[in-house]
Copies of this chain bind each other. A is one copy, B any other.
């Protein structure tokens, strides 16, 4: 049976409190910063569970770290992520879903899944960068 522990709640809460994607390590640090004595391994386990049950989305940063995020919907979707400030926007999937499927089918592939994420600079960070580049 699945038990309810304050640790699990703490991880879920910390995820919710965060707008963008966070690494397990960062989450662990954040929790410790608030005085929680939660263990690192436990954070990893909780995140893995959340990702499995669909309560959290996970993706890999370009540097290879696994990042997690509490998303507003359990449905399949994708993300537009600011590589500077971490701001994350959930993307309407229809167009790509269709495309990914078409491509797969056209080549005889089945059980297609896809990794689709867009990284960029959000409006605010774009402005900052432009200013500092002058």
Q: Tally chain A residues at the interface, Cβ within 8 Å.
A: 33
Q: Would B96 and A108 count as touching, CB distance under 8 A?
A: no
Q: CB within 8 A of A126: which of B80, B91, B110?
A: B110
Q: Would B89 and A107 count as touching, CB distance under 8 A?
A: yes
Task: Determine the residue in chain B with the shortest Cβ distance to A61.
Answer: B60
Does A75 sit at the interface, judged by CB under 8 A? no
Does A66 sit at the interface, judged by CB under 8 A? yes
- The interface-forming segment of A6-14, A39-47, A113-121 is A113-121
A residues within 8 Å of B by Cβ? 60, 62, 64, 66, 80, 82, 89, 91-92, 95-96, 99-100, 103-104, 107-123, 126
